[in-house]
C-alpha cells in the first residue's frame, strides 16, 4: 500500500512531466514552424507570412512584341520598402545603336484602388495600323517611372542605347523611399509604398524604324524610313513572384 502510494505519486509526477514535456514539444514544433516560415521569407521574396511591409517583393515581366516589332525580353522588378527599388531589363530584337525609352506605365487613381494597366491588343492601333504611344494610353496608362539612368527624379533622363546586336541589358537602382517621395510629389501626395501597386503596372519598351506605318528591321535602309523613339515595341505586365 505504501509502495502503491509512492508509485501513484511517481506516476502522477510522470504524467505531469509528460504534459509539460508535451507542451514543450508542441511549443518547440510551433517555434520551429515559425522559424521555417521566417527562412522562407528570406528565400522567397514576399513569401511566407504575407502582408509584412518589411519584406522584399519581386515581380517578373515577360516582354512581348507590339507593332510586330519582333522585340522580346524579360524584366525583373524588386522592391524592399526599407531598402532599394531595382529594375533589370533584358531586351533583344531592337533597332541597333538607337536610344530606346522604357517606362513603367500605369494608372494612378485618387482615393481608390488603381486601375489595372494592361498591354494593348493589336486592335488598339488606329486606322493607320500603327499602334502609337497615344493609341496605347487607354490600356497601359501614362508613364509612372521612366527606366532611365537615374530613376529618380521621375523625369526622363538618359535611356539605354541598344548594342549593335540590338540588345539592351539595363539595370536601375534607387532607394525605395526616394522613389516613393518622388512618386508622392508627382501625384496626389497620398502615395505610400503600397500605393505603388506594382502588380497593376506594365513595362513598355519604345523605339523603332517605321516606313509606311510599319515597323521595319534596321537592316533595311531605304531613305524614307524614320526612327520613332516613342513607338511601343514591347510590353509586359508585372507579375508578383510569391
Smallest separation, CB 143 to Cu ion (Å) = 5
Three-class secondary structure of residue 170 per DSSP:
strand
Using CB under 5 A as the binding criterion, the count of chain residues that bind Cu ion stands at 2
Q: Which of 126, 127, 103, 92 is nearest to 230 (CA)?
A: 103
Selected range binding Cu ion among 5-13, 35-43, 196-204, 211-219, rule: CB under 5 A? 196-204
Taking the least distance from each CB to Cu ion, the nearer of 204 and 215 is 204
- The single residue among 182, 204, 231, 238 that binds Cu ion, judged by CB under 5 A, is 204
Interaction of residue 103 with Cu ion, rule CB under 5 A: yes
Alpha-carbon distances, residue 75 vs 13, 174, 213, 220, 237 (angstroms):
63, 16, 28, 28, 10
DSSP 109: -
Which grid cell is 166? 540590338
Contact 203, 90 (CB under 8 A): no
Q: How far apart are CA 200 and CA 113, in angstroms?
A: 10
Selected range binding Cu ion among 72-80, 83-91, 101-109, 150-158, rule: CB under 5 A? 101-109
Interaction of residue 182 with Cu ion, rule CB under 5 A: no
Smallest separation, CB 46 to Cu ion (Å) = 26
Smallest separation, CB 103 to Cu ion (Å) = 3
Binding site for Cu ion (CB under 5 A): 103, 204
Amino acid at each position: 500500500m505504501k509502495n502503491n502510494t509512492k508509485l501513484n505519486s511517481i506516476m502522477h509526477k510522470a504524467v505531469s512531466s509528460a504534459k509539460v514535456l508535451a507542451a514543450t514539444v508542441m511549443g518547440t514544433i510551433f517555434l520551429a514552424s515559425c522559424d521555417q516560415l521566417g527562412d522562407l521569407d528570406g528565400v522567397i521574396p514576399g513569401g511566407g507570412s504575407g502582408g509584412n511591409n518589411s519584406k522584399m517583393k519581386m515581380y517578373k515581366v515577360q516582354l512581348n512584341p507590339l507593332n510586330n516589332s519582333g522585340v522580346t525580353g524579360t524584366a525583373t522588378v524588386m522592391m524592399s520598402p526599407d531598402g532599394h527599388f531595382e529594375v533589370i531589363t533584358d531586351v533583344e530584337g531592337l533597332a541597333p545603336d538607337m536610344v530606346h525609352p522604357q517606362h513603367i506605365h500605369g494608372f494612378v487613381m485618387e482615393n481608390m484602388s488603381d486601375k489595372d494597366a494592361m498591354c494593348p491588343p493589336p486592335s488598339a492601333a488606329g486606322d493607320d495600323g500603327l499602334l502609337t504611344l497615344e493609341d496605347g494610353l487607354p490600356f497601359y496608362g501614362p508613364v509612372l517611372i521612366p527606366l532611365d539612368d537615374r530613376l529618380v527624379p521621375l523625369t526622363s533622363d538618359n535611356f539605354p542605347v541598344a548594342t549593335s546586336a540590338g540588345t539592351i541589358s539595363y539595370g536601375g537602382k534607387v532607394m525605395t523611399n526616394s522613389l516613393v517621395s518622388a512618386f508622392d510629389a508627382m501625384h496626389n501626395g497620398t502615395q505610400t509604398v503600397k500605393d505603388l501597386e506594382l502588380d497593376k503596372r506594365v513595362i513598355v519598351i519604345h523605339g523603332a524604324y517605321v516606313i509606311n506605318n510599319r515597323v521595319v528591321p534596321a537592316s533595311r535602309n531605304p531613305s524614307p524610313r524614320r526612327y520613332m523613339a516613342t513607338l511601343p515595341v514591347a510590353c509586359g505586365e508585372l507579375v508578383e513572384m510569391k
